[in-house]
């Protein structure tokens, strides 16, 4: 969950031992997807810290809990 927005995440390791990370988020009537690849020696696990979802005013969208409509500033 990025900022408590529902999402689906998948990690795939290729034959060359590279890791491919992908995540799909659904927010309102929008879906957002991203993908990143990493070499086999890269150990950082929290790729979602690189992604922020912004509203129409450029303000980060964060919710108090999953499924909540209460935003946190």
Q: In terms of residue numbers, what domain contains 13?
A: 1-73
Overall size of the chain counted in residues? 73
pLDDT in tens, 13-28: 889 888 888 888 888 8
The b/e string for 42-54 (b: 16+ C-beta within 10 A; e otherwise) is eeeeebbeeeeee
C-alpha 42 chain-centroid distance: 18
pTM given for the model:
0.60
- Please give the tally of structural domains in the chain: 1
pLDDT in tens, 25-67: 888 888 888 888 887 776 665 554 567 788 889 888 888 887 7
């Amino acid at each position: 969950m990025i900022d408590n927005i529902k999402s689906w995440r998948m990690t795939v390791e290729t034959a060359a031992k590279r890791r491919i990370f992908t995540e799909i988020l659904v927010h309102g009537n929008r879906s957002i997807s991203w993908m990143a690849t990493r070499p086999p020696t890269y150990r950082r696990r929290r790729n979602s810290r690189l992604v922020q979802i912004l509203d129409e005013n450029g303000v980060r969208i964060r919710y108090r809990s999953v499924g909540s409509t209460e935003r946190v500033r």
